[in-house]
Amino acid sequence: MSPQIALHDPVLRTYFWIVLISLAIAGALLGFVRFVLKKETASMFKTYWSWILIAGIGFIVVFLGRVPTIIGVTMLAIYAFKEFARASGLHRDCWMTGAVYAGIVTVGIASVISNPRGEEPGPGWYGLFVAMTAFAIALILLIPILRNRARGELRHISLAIIGFVYIGWMFGHLGFMANDRNAYGFICYIIFATALTDVAAFAFGKMVGRHPLRSEISPNKTWEGALGALGVAMSLPWLLRFSFPFFGSWQLFLTGLIVGIGGQLGDLSISVIKRDIGTKDMATTIPGHGGILDRIDSLVYAVPLFMHMAGYYYPLR
Amino acid sequence: MKKWLYEPVRDVDQAPADRLGQFPREPDMIVHGLRSFSALIIRGLLRIYNHFEIVGHENLRTNRSLVMVANHCSHLDTLCLLAALPLAKLHRAFPAAASDYFFQSVPRLWAAEILVNALPFARQARVRQSLSLCRELLANPGTILIIFPEGTRSTTGEVGEFKSGIGALVAGRDVAVAPCFIDGSFRAWPKGKRFPRPRKVRLFVGTPRNYCDRGTDKNDIGAIAAELRDAVNELRPTNGSH
């Protein structure tokens, strides 16, 4: 990945046009709802403008190359964890949040540097990247011992571990995928597919939604929306087959399942956390979307599953 | 198992720009880290660019609450006073900043929150509310308030009249008040200039005073303000200029 390669990469170019056309179609549809059907769309327009901004920034970062992509993903993870810490009250414990930030930064570094013993193909230190879960948990458990404290520490330990593993490490896979030979195809596909699946779930739910999916977790989600989104997610791997031309039908099927079910499970798992804490959104960083974490929730769940699925069948780097 | 209690920040559903104006703030490690880091850079720059020097450093050595009272001619003043504090106390130091100036635009708000940890002080309306906020802060031991009782930057370099609010804040309370004189900041960065100039800046810290035995009626607080103004003015070096 580098700007020179990006300019001539057919996959990235195709995605550029796909995203541009999707945004144009979405804009036209919103305009139709607003001006022909005369419905209230102010909040949807806010969400739409944010989508344009996200797409623009995303393309610029991926275009700039491997290291900017990894740095971008690491910064997103740091900010998403900051939101999580503020929403759960963990931010008052500087030591724990500091340990998690250090862990997230190390995940980013492990994605950038190569194995110093040179035993791995391509860039990125996969061994350290995977081992970081153990190292970070060891560091987090060390903190109460160093501070000689036990009261209420289990809560902080749990919050810090879920914060690191879920937000830092699992989401960090997106950065590590920048080391793959097929980086553009994988990264563009997984981001585009989870985003489209989210929008599809919202749209189907709005149009034909009747039966609540998980009434105790997220009252606005419906079975109709979830199944519609699953349908979209299952057809996408075949429609966008150019992203991973070496995938067989079994891998395409698994990709569909991971995005269609995994993405929505990611959405629901963040909803469980929000419900228990008692907030509606993790923060209000992106107008019309909520916090960074509310936006990347489905990616967090789907990206590691996708990367390890692809890594099981094909040499990635 | 009893219910686990989470304590989310109060401003969790506020937009980032609105959150900046909030006080008291709920900063996390990133804000603390940025503030300490920029404080180190600011200290270095002051030392090199303005040959910054502190006289009477030992007068600030206390673990109790402290009010630093100084003359004001430049934005450098706040940075100089903060530079006199140990880094560990930085996050407990609140320079009172005019809410009508610093809490209006996002870049100023950002500087006010991250760099100096400013306390929004309503100098025109609701002065009483701002003063009671200051009192609440001072009730926590270890708090440091930085106050410029002139209420605005001086355009001549002379020390103007002190507003009586400073008297009302410290009268009858057991809190140390350290008079400070900043010399040279007027020449280095006067009001209206875009960038600071490389002129020498010195900070003189006087012996802390205590006004716990004074009354809180109008005459008394006026007298305290006048006394503090004299104390600040006396620290001015005889051969120095402003």
pLDDT tens-digit profile of A159-206? 999 999 999 999 999 999 999 999 999 999 999 999 999 999 999 998
Domain range summary for chain B, segments of one domain joined by +:
51-234
pLDDT confidence tier of residue B242, bands split at 50, 70 and 90: very low
Nearest-angstrom CA–CA distance, B222 and B219: 5
CATH architecture of B51-234: 3-Layer(aba) Sandwich (3.40)
Q: Which residue of A has its CA nearest to B11?
A: A283
- Percent of all residues in chain B with a pLDDT value above 90, rounded to a whole number: 32
Nearest-angstrom CA–CA distance, B77 and B150: 13
- Whether residue A78 lies within 8 A of chain B, CB to CB, comes out as yes
Full 3-state SS string of A21-84: HHHHHHHHHHHHHHHHCCCCCHHHHHHHHHHHHHHHHHHHHHHHCHHHHHHHHHHHHHHHHHHH
Contact across the interface for A86 and B9, Cβ inside 8 Å:
yes
- Whether residue A46 lies within 8 A of chain B, CB to CB, comes out as no
- Whether residue A292 lies within 8 A of chain B, CB to CB, comes out as no
Q: Which residues of A touch B1 (CB under 8 A)?
A: none
**Segment A218-277, tens digit of pLDDT:** 888 999 999 999 999 999 999 999 999 999 999 999 999 999 999 999 999 999 999 888
**B contact test, residue of A50, A79, A91 with most B CBs within 10 A:** A91
- C-beta separation of B197 from B85 below 8 A: no
Place of tokens 């979405």: A26
Is the alpha carbon torsion for B40, B41, B44, B47 positive or negative? Answer: negative
Buried b (16+ CB within 10 A) or exposed e, A182-205: bbbbbbbbbbbbbbbbbbbbbbbb
**A contact test, residue of B30, B34, B92, B114 with most A CBs within 10 A:** B30
Which residues 149-168 of A are in CB contact (within 8 Å) with B?
155
Contact across the interface for A284 and B15, Cβ inside 8 Å:
yes
- Whether residue A191 lies within 8 A of chain B, CB to CB, comes out as no
Q: Which of B14, B29, B32 sits opposite A284 (nearest CB)?
A: B14
Q: Which residues of B touch A287 (CB under 8 A)?
A: 15
The Cα of A33 is separated from the nearest Cα of chain B by a number of Å equal to 28
Q: Which of B4, B7, B29 sits opposite A98 (nearest CB)?
A: B29
Mean pLDDT within B162-175: 88
- C-beta separation of B109 from B85 below 8 A: no
Amino acid at the residue A149? R
**Segment A61-73, tens digit of pLDDT:** 999 999 999 999 9
Q: Which residue of B has its CA nearest to A97?
A: B29
**Segment B195-226, tens digit of pLDDT:** 888 989 999 999 999 888 888 888 888 999 99
Q: What is the pLDDT of residue B239?
A: 62
Q: Helices H, strands E: what count in chain B? A: 9, 8
Which residues 158-197 of B are in CB contact (within 8 Å) with A?
none
Mean pLDDT within A273-286: 84
Nearest-angstrom CA–CA distance, A187 and A310: 12
Q: Which of B7, B15, B29 sits opposite A89 (nearest CB)?
A: B7
Phi, psi for B95 (deg, rounded to 5): -75, 130
Amino acid at the residue A141? L
